[in-house]
Structure 1
């Protein structure tokens, strides 16, 4: 048989899914591994989806998505961040932010183009660049997981096309300070680079208002903004995201979308529209719940000897496990075997992630308490 695609064959399976799959074979496991809200999609949003089914909204929409939904998205961005997009030409509905990221990379990159990615970073970033024919170039962040502008500038070459950033961050929960993002925009302007900003966790910002990269001076015309409904609206399985970007970028992204996805599911788009129109009280309630959990969970991690800054956003803690003497993969494997708690090794998020583990606190407080008790037992056992 002829060989299969060597680029895909060289791509390792997701390190997140690997531990999730192992945990699924075991009994009595508390999973802190997968980044999914434990909240069910709010009833009024589910009801909108049911109504859409009852009305027979089971057809394709336009390739770009329901115009009503696009109008609601750009209106919401304008209201909260004072950034303006044309819903007809500068907003595209995608099947989740994952598809939006794929479209962005395939639209921006020619073969051999480089994308600079501060890490630790989400596991899909590098593969999406590679699948689009580009080359991911990873640069470290500082000890608080803030972007180092000097490191990014040193990584720029004649092949650099874009910088891919995420704030709030998966896996670290870090939020990039506004002044750092302003410096990043200035750098992109100076070197004529695109910015791809993954802002799927933008509603989950606890200590400071979210900074939308596209809203910063000089950023809008070179920024691809990725957002969606999975996290703050608890709609992971509905698969609705969006891209907002200048019209020339969106036109080409739309061509790829036409031939590959056609459109996001009609029913899901109807539900997302209801979430935007009437979902704010429920979003605020969920954010407040995550806020309580992140403070209690970070304190609990520090109490058992795993140093952890209080996460500023998203729903992840990224504690250091260096005091145990184990690397992150060994720690995660042994913790799962000994105490049935599933976490993700920090090493899967890039070299800077080694020495840490990612824990999702998007689960009920009693389970978080039980997980901390089990983790404390495990850490104590390593001291003997």
Structure 2
């Protein structure tokens, strides 16, 4: 009974792996899950208090489709000061999560048989969103030995290319693109009149490097669609709150989709978003520092076992090369069945990930250390 549109789309591999691990847990098996990209920290109290206060004072009704004006002003100020974007409130939509924003972008700017560029490997939901829009994905290889930077992007551009997707810091690799890499992408976009979707959801979870918004480059203001949200930096995954900034002729069709689908982001949740951006940022810094410690324990431990893994520059994922022991699918299955360690096979993120597994280190150091011992026992 599924539509032909749905037949083009695969099940989310990250959700599938997480669901399998949860089923095993329900059966009483102690599974260490390194699957979902969700901070294991509680949302900071001042954010919860702001949302609760809003709820109790009656902010429980329909919100404007594009978001409440107070939050849009706060987002615009954040984009101007932190990201060097010339952001106006009329160019911003508040969405129920960054994923919804990405879906709306694809449905708004892509037509049947258009092509969108993804850098392989890429987050699992970009490709399905492109397919939902009736377009096709053009996969561009990356240098797996040098920060997963795109290789020969120019060779994959043609008359059908409508959009380039940039995700830095990135999922699944944790790669952070430097200024030169982003400038190369920007120059190609400008020369070929192509839009860029910049997914910056992990911008604040970054180590020893600088986050740069590609929309801040000269000539990129009007061709960049910047997506961000609150789930990762502020541990607000369940709140479902994101936003998108783009020129008005991109925003208007997106708002049309939002008004006919989810209507708006939850009203009182948006007041939590204001508190997140305007309130103390120490909780974010503390969380990032703990992620850094976990990253170092995990990556060092993997390399000691003999699993090659670069140290990611951002986000909270390690993309580990398991080719010494098998392909990513077989190793993920072996670790789950033999070691009760759940990871995501790298093939879920693109062809280049077939010999990799993604390990989310959004869990305690104690569980990471135990997971490493289990992995070592299963593989060595």
Aligned-partner Cα distance in 2 for 1:289–1:279: 18
Q: 1:208 to 1:145 in 2, by over 3 A?
A: closer
Matched with 1:15 is 13
Instruction: Quote the offset at 1:145 in angstroms.
Output: 4.3
Contact 2:101 2:242 (8 Å CA) reproduced: yes
Aligned to 2:132: 131
Q: Shift of residue 147 of structure 1?
A: 3.0
- Residues 162 and 194 of structure 2 are in contact (CA less than 8 Å); yes or no, is this contact kept in structure 1? yes
Residue number in structure 2 paired with 1:176: 177
Post-superposition shift, 1:53?
1.6
Is the partner of 1:333 in helix, strand or coil?
helix
Which of 42, 49, 52 does residue 51 from structure 2 map onto?
A: 49
Question: Which residue number in structure 2 is paired with residue 270 of structure 1?
Answer: 271
Taking the TM superposition and a 5 Å limit, the aligned residue runs for 1:244-263 are 244-263=245-264
Residues 133-161 of structure 1, C-alpha deviation per residue, up to 9 Å, x if partnerless? 111111111123433352x2111121111
**What is the deviation of 1:20?**
1.1
- The within-5 A match list for 1:65-214 is 65-87=67-89, 89-143=90-144, 144-148=146-150, 150=152, 152-214=153-215
Structure 1, residues 90-121: CA drift from partner, whole Å, max 9, x if none?
11101111100011111111111110111100
TM-score (norm 2): 0.97
Partner of 1:30: 32
Which structure 2 residue ranges, 5 or more long, are not aligned? none
Q: Deviations over 1:329-381 (max 9, x none)?
A: 1100110111111000001100111111000001111111111111111121x
Q: Deviations over 1:52-105 (max 9, x none)?
A: 221121111111101111111121122222222001x11110111110001111
Secondary structure of 1:271's counterpart equals helix
Matches within 5 A, 1:283-302: 283-302=284-303
For these two proteins, the number of residue pairs brought into alignment is 375
The match for 2:224 is: 223
SS at match of 2:201: coil
> 1:266-313 CA distances to partner (integer Å, 9 max, x unpaired)?
121111111111141111111111111111211111111111111100
5+ residue gaps, structure 1: none
| Structure 2 counterpart SS, 1:118 | strand
User: Secondary structure, in 3 states, of the residue corresponding to 1:318?
Assistant: strand
Give the secondary-structure state (helix, strand or coil) at the position aligned to 2:155: helix
Q: What SS does the corresponding residue of 1:221 show, helix, strand or coil? A: coil
Q: Alignment RMSD, CA only?
A: 1.1
Report the CA distance between 1:10 and its aligned residue: 3.2
TM-score normalised over the length of structure 1: 0.96
